Amino acid sequence: MKPYAQMSREELMAEKAALEAQFAEIKAKKLKLDMSRGKPSHDQIVLSDAMMDVLHSNSYFNDETGTDCRNYGVLRGIPEAKRLMGAMSEVDENDMIIFGNSSLNIMFDTVSRSYTHGVCGETPWCRLDKVKFLCPVPGYDRHFRITEYFGIEMINIPMTETGPDMDLVEKYVESDPAVKGIWCVPKYSNPQGYSYSDETVRRFAHLKPAAPDFRIYWDNAYSIHHLYDDPDRQDVILEILSECREAGNPDIVFKFISTSKVTFPGSGLAALTASKKNLDDAAKHMLVQTIGHDKMNQLRHVRFFGNMANMHEHMRRHAAILRPKFEMLYDIFETSLGALEIGSWTKPKGGYFISFDALDGCAKAIVAKCAEAGVKLTPAGATFPYGKDPRDRNIRIAPSYPELDELEKAAQVFVLAVRLVSAEKFLG
Amino acid sequence: MKPYAQMSREELMAEKAALEAQFAEIKAKKLKLDMSRGKPSHDQIVLSDAMMDVLHSNSYFNDETGTDCRNYGVLRGIPEAKRLMGAMSEVDENDMIIFGNSSLNIMFDTVSRSYTHGVCGETPWCRLDKVKFLCPVPGYDRHFRITEYFGIEMINIPMTETGPDMDLVEKYVESDPAVKGIWCVPKYSNPQGYSYSDETVRRFAHLKPAAPDFRIYWDNAYSIHHLYDDPDRQDVILEILSECREAGNPDIVFKFISTSKVTFPGSGLAALTASKKNLDDAAKHMLVQTIGHDKMNQLRHVRFFGNMANMHEHMRRHAAILRPKFEMLYDIFETSLGALEIGSWTKPKGGYFISFDALDGCAKAIVAKCAEAGVKLTPAGATFPYGKDPRDRNIRIAPSYPELDELEKAAQVFVLAVRLVSAEKFLG
């Protein structure tokens, strides 16, 4: 095979005809496959089944200070859970508050609180004419949906292999007081799987925001979600809170983590890491919102893992399931598309996604074509604010959920769709 | 003993001296007792320990439709949990959404959502000059704190044995479009333990609000929390959503329930009951806020109870523990204060509280006096918006948490404090 751009019209016509025949064949199989969301597979989920055994009717239900976890109380989380989640977040237990089951919910509430009551005493955003967020693109659709929901103007910032374009970030953050935040997935970014370089993290920590209530929304969703035993140096990122402290900027970051992709999605723990000032501000709000989060689930997690080393060990079991899926996709993409120059893709060594860039103007058509053959992908455009990919080329691939044999079928449909849509593009 | 008002100055001086001696004696015991919050006792908590056994590593984790509760998904709650909680709320499973562990959190989010995005498409409250809530008083401090937090003006509505003063409620709701809500605890009200009469419920259902986004915030916190096997007729209240539907007013109520005082406080289920229009409006918000709540805990509750009859049976076990505490307080109050005409108290047959009205201007002093002797009460004034009891007379008594012998000591301190402060008042 040679690049489509070098094929004659006749060659392309022949290619297209062959692809259409293959597509008809695959379509007839009436597949029903899903590569749309970063959902753990059945094999991953069962890894945590034993967590259901750690608490039983004869358990000791007190935390280490003697507080009965069955009853009301303890707003910020039991100490041992803060310590475990602190270790996961690479911070001291006092730098964190444990919330409910969802870090997305913490992010939503953080934005909502800023909107209704302001950040640490600053003007509530609902009283401002304009609030803006920087959005590294492609990025995580659920982040963008939160800011869109609150009427916040989103500004696209191009992502690179070392993180967002920091020249642009500095320019916006340091000159425009309407810029109140930036969404970041600093490690194994969603969807590219890029990890921020030391320089990127340090430039974040040294930002001099024009707005006193500017915050970095640091969603460390894949902090311990490596595919290989020894992460590459580039995937070991600096801890942002301590970098901010060293830079004399302790208050500019909110860091979010959760065990949604460690234990059970929807029944895990989520936590906020931040400076004392920020945590106290969040706690003031929490005090009105709730009497406390689920301490029994905190206890369950602590007793299941015991320590951070065991959590890492647990993650290696996830990796053993996920790694072959990612590697298979890299192989299929390389074999089927490598020579054609009609798409490029990332090859992350952790996280949950692969970012695929098709030829300009082809993403929507490829996703539609896949749907036609029963393969569900994240909607094209979803990785951009307002669902608008200006070049209509980015597709997020989520390999985790299907079993290996199903994933292979789905990937074959995908590469076929990419080739077909690309051939059509060249044919005009 | 005779009423203090009929005592001579000498008699009162003697009484005061005797009480002071008793108080000094009791103070020397350095008690540390808590009658401040509606917190279940240890004996109540252990009633649900077996709930920790229902899920284990070999359990079947799918809900009745086959959805794996360990993984992401199912925004509104699994069907069998909606059915169980629907039975608890006396509505159809489709009339409800299950949230996280706290009905307070649902109420907060409901007010927050109204503030940021408006109710069912109406103007967000943050864009209005004035938003008002009606607050039956005395009432629940955490309700008032939510509305205060959002800068909502609170208007006191006197409570009666049959519910809030409905003439006043109708007057405000039907004439003032700034009135957007009313806080209600319709059954075994906090703190009086009153239950709304059929007439009250029907007048609520038939309200013709001036504001299209007015809602009744119906916190049915004690819906199945009876102290006696057969609740009095007056404590069997009409179901509000169906009354509203019958009145052609399906959208004017949000009803909140939780199992916080059924299973484990902090690790229970909470749910919102409302019309389809209201639930869809809430779900639009949820869809941005979270991927879903803890389905494993939903499954755990469903499997623990099986059905509503078992939940009622479980509540009878709670009642067996709570009843002697309430009855002991009624006895002590009657014996020690009955003849003195220096206070009146409610005698609820369910719920978690007793409302005590001291002589005007005495509540703060009584609470302070109790604190001096190591007995913690809910702060005086807490049962009123802004913490301001205009007559400084109401004290909320929470008998649930202390063991019976400790509660007796606490009650003895309390009645002593009431007598002492009242005697001082008469002496001027």
Per-residue 3-state assignment (H helix, E strand, C coil) for chain B: CCCHHHCCHHHHHHHHHHHHHHHHHHHHCCCCEEECCCCCCHHHHHHHHHHHHCCCCCCCCECCCCCECCCCCCCCCCHHHHHHHHHHCCCCHHHEEECCCCHHHHHHHHHHHHHHHCCCCCCCHHHCCCCEEEEEECCCHHHHHHHHHCCCEEEEEEEECCEECHHHHHHHHHHCCCEEEEEECCCCCCCCCCCCCHHHHHHHHCCCCCCCCCEEEEECCCCCCECCCCCCHHHCCCCHHHHHHHCCCHHHEEEEEECCCCCCCCCCCEEEECCHHHHHHHHHHHHHHCCCCCHHHHHHHHHHHCCHHHHHHHHHHHHHHHHHHHHHHHHHHHHHHCCCCCEEECCCCECCCEEEEECCCCHHHHHHHHHHCCEEECCCCCCCHHHCCCCCCEEEECCCCCCHHHHHHHHHHHHHHHHHHHHHHHHC
Cβ <8 Å between B265 and A72 = yes
Cβ <8 Å between A289 and B109 = yes
Pairing of strands A215-219, A179-184: parallel
Residues A293 and A360 placed together within one structural domain of the fold: no
| Partner-chain residue, chosen from B116, B145, B266, that has the shortest CB–CB distance to A294 | B266
Chain B hits for A292, Cβ within 8 Å: 102, 266
Domain boundary among B261, B288, B305: B305
Distance, CA of B290 to CA of A149 (rounded, Å): 13
List Cα–Cα distances, B37 to B261, B270, B354, in angstroms: 12, 19, 11
pTM above 0.95, yes or no: yes
Q: What are phi and psi of B58, to 5 degrees?
A: -100, 10
The residue segments making up the domain with residue A423 are 4-44+312-427
Cβ <8 Å between A108 and B146 = no
pLDDT tens by residue, A53-70: 999 999 999 999 999 999
Judge whether B78 lies within some domain.
yes
Length of chain A: 428
Q: What are phi and psi of B138, to 5 degrees?
A: -65, 155
Nearest CA-CA partner of A391 in A137, A143, A136? A137
Residues B131 and B247 placed together within one structural domain of the fold: yes
**Contacts of A12 by beta carbon, 8 Å cutoff, 6+ apart:** A4, A423, A426, A427
Chain B hits for A289, Cβ within 8 Å: 104-105, 108-109
Residues A98 and A223 placed together within one structural domain of the fold: yes
List Cα–Cα distances, B145 to B53, B356, B385, in angstroms: 37, 21, 8
| Cβ contact A112:B116 at 8 Å | yes
| Partner-chain residue, chosen from B45, B53, B294, that has the shortest CB–CB distance to A56 | B53
State the smallest CA–CA distance between residue A415 and chain B in angstroms: 28
| Cβ contact B160:B208 at 8 Å | no
| Partner-chain residue, chosen from A49, A291, A296, that has the shortest CB–CB distance to B57 | A49
Mean pLDDT for A355-369 is 98
Judge whether B27 lies within some domain.
yes
**Contacts of B3 by beta carbon, 8 Å cutoff, 6+ apart:** B339, B340, B341, B342
CATH number, residue B160: 3.40.640.10
State the smallest CA–CA distance between residue B5 and chain A in angstroms: 42
Nearest CA-CA partner of B407 in B339, B349, B330, B328? B328
| Partner-chain residue, chosen from A48, A127, A266, that has the shortest CB–CB distance to B292 | A266
Tell me which DSSP letter residue A226 carries: B
A400 burial type by CB count under 10 A (0-12 exposed, 13-18 middle, 19+ buried): buried
Edge-first strand order for the sheet with B354-358 is B343-345, B354-358, B394-397
Residues A299 and A325 placed together within one structural domain of the fold: no
Residues A39 and A112 placed together within one structural domain of the fold: no
| Partner-chain residue, chosen from B72, B146, B260, that has the shortest CB–CB distance to A266 | B72
Structure tokens at B218: 């119906």
**Contacts of A427 by beta carbon, 8 Å cutoff, 6+ apart:** A9, A12, A13, A16
Chain B hits for A115, Cβ within 8 Å: 116, 126
Residues A115 and A218 placed together within one structural domain of the fold: yes
Cβ <8 Å between A265 and B70 = yes
**What pLDDT is stored for residue A328 in this prediction?**
98
Structure tokens at B52: 């920790």
Judge whether A143 lies within some domain.
yes
Four-point Cα dihedral B142, A109, A81, A253, nearest 10: -130
Distance, CA of B205 to CA of B106 (rounded, Å): 22
Question: What is the tally of structural domains in chain B?
Answer: 2
**A294 pLDDT exceeds 90?**
yes
**What pLDDT is stored for residue B337 in this prediction?**
97
The region, left, alpha or beta by phi > 0 then psi within -120 to 50, assigned to residue B228 is beta
Residues A391 and A323 placed together within one structural domain of the fold: yes
Chain B hits for A295, Cβ within 8 Å: 266-267
A252-271 burial code (b ≥16 CB/10 A, e <16): bbbbbbbbbbbbbbbbbbbb
| Partner-chain residue, chosen from A49, A116, A290, that has the shortest CB–CB distance to B102 | A290
Mean pLDDT for A251-272 is 98
β-sheet bridge partners, residue A68: A62
Chain A hits for B48, Cβ within 8 Å: 70
Nearest CA-CA partner of B80 in B235, B290, B299? B299
| Partner-chain residue, chosen from A53, A68, A285, that has the shortest CB–CB distance to B45 | A68
Q: Is A234 helix (H, G, I), strand (E, B) or coil?
A: helix
Residues B16 and B75 placed together within one structural domain of the fold: no
Cβ <8 Å between B294 and A68 = no
Judge whether A53 lies within some domain.
no
Distance, CA of B123 to CA of B114 (rounded, Å): 8
Q: Which helix (H) or strand (E) holds A354?
A: strand A354-358
Cβ <8 Å between B39 and A72 = yes
Cβ <8 Å between B70 and A48 = yes
- What is the chain A residue with the closest CA to B75? A266
| Partner-chain residue, chosen from A266, A285, A296, that has the shortest CB–CB distance to B295 | A266
Distance, CA of B207 to CA of A320 (rounded, Å): 61
Chain B hits for A291, Cβ within 8 Å: 102, 104, 142, 265-266
Cβ <8 Å between A45 and B296 = no
Chain A hits for B59, Cβ within 8 Å: 52
Q: Which helix (H) or strand (E) holds A397?
A: strand A394-397
Cβ <8 Å between A52 and B53 = no
Q: Is A96 helix (H, G, I), strand (E, B) or coil?
A: strand
Cβ <8 Å between A70 and B267 = yes
| Partner-chain residue, chosen from A56, A115, A260, that has the shortest CB–CB distance to B52 | A56
Judge whether B339 lies within some domain.
yes
Chain A hits for B58, Cβ within 8 Å: 49
Cβ <8 Å between B116 and A108 = no
Tell me which DSSP letter residue A72 carries: S
| Partner-chain residue, chosen from B55, B69, B288, that has the shortest CB–CB distance to A108 | B288
Chain A hits for B290, Cβ within 8 Å: 102, 104-105, 108
CATH number, residue A337: 3.90.1150.10
Residues A263 and A348 placed together within one structural domain of the fold: no
Distance, CA of B92 to CA of A423 (rounded, Å): 54
Mean pLDDT for A80-107 is 97
Check: complex ipTM more than 0.95 = yes
Residues B242 and B348 placed together within one structural domain of the fold: no
- What is the chain A residue with the closest CA to B60? A49
Q: Is A185 helix (H, G, I), strand (E, B) or coil?
A: coil
| Partner-chain residue, chosen from A53, A55, A288, that has the shortest CB–CB distance to B146 | A288
Chain B hits for A57, Cβ within 8 Å: 49-50, 52-53
**A1 pLDDT exceeds 90?**
no
| Cβ contact B196:B177 at 8 Å | no
Nearest CA-CA partner of A292 in B260, B24, B293? B260
* Angle of CA points A115, A118, A119, to nearest 5°: 120
State the smallest CA–CA distance between residue B217 and chain A in angstroms: 15
**Contacts of B301 by beta carbon, 8 Å cutoff, 6+ apart:** B51, B81, B84, B259, B263, B268, B269
Q: What are phi and psi of A180, to 5 degrees?
A: -110, -10
Judge whether A422 lies within some domain.
yes
Chain A hits for B266, Cβ within 8 Å: 69-73, 291-296
Mean model confidence pLDDT for chain A? 97
| Cβ contact B115:A116 at 8 Å | yes
β-sheet bridge partners, residue B255: B218, B273
According to DSSP H, which parts of A138-184 are helical?
141-149, 166-175
Structure tokens at A258: 């959760």
Chain A hits for B264, Cβ within 8 Å: 70-71, 296
Q: What is the DSSP string of A255-299?
A: EEEESTTTS-TTSS-EEEE--HHHHHHHHHHHHHH-S---HHHHH
State the smallest CA–CA distance between residue A153 and chain B in angstroms: 16
Instruction: Say what percent of chain A tops pLDDT 90.
Output: 98
Residues A129 and A253 placed together within one structural domain of the fold: yes
Length of chain B: 428
Judge whether A54 lies within some domain.
no
Judge whether B54 lies within some domain.
no
Cβ <8 Å between B266 and A42 = no
| Cβ contact B197:B162 at 8 Å | yes
Cβ <8 Å between B145 and A288 = yes
Cβ <8 Å between A267 and B145 = no
pLDDT along chain B (428 residues), means of 10: 94 97 96 93 98 97 98 96 98 97 97 98 98 98 98 98 98 98 98 98 98 98 95 93 98 98 97 98 97 97 98 98 98 97 98 98 98 96 97 97 96 98 96
Give the number of other CB atoms < 10 A from CB of residue A215: 21
Using only C-alpha atoms, what is the Rg of chain A?
23
Distance, CA of A281 to CA of A276 (rounded, Å): 8
- The half-sphere exposure of B257 on its side-chain side, counting CA atoms within 13 A, is 27
**What pLDDT is stored for residue B230 in this prediction?**
86
Q: What are phi and psi of A181, to 5 degrees?
A: -170, 165
Nearest CA-CA partner of A390 in A10, A95, A34, A135? A135
CB contacts < 8 Å between A and B, how many? 161
- Which residue bears the tokens 């008793």? B22
Pairing of strands B253-258, B343-345: unpaired
- Which residue bears the tokens 């996703």? A367
**What pLDDT is stored for residue B388 in this prediction?**
97
Cβ <8 Å between B296 and A264 = yes
Distance, CA of B36 to CA of B370 (rounded, Å): 11
Domain boundary among B305, B337, B363: B305
Chain B hits for A56, Cβ within 8 Å: 52-53, 56
Candidates B98, B101, B287: best to mutate against A (most CBs of A within 10 A) is B101
Cβ <8 Å between A266 and B71 = yes
**What pLDDT is stored for residue A230 in this prediction?**
86
Residues A151 and A254 placed together within one structural domain of the fold: yes
| Partner-chain residue, chosen from A115, A295, A296, that has the shortest CB–CB distance to B116 | A115
- What is the chain B residue with the closest CA to A39? B72
Domain boundary among B305, B322, B340: B305
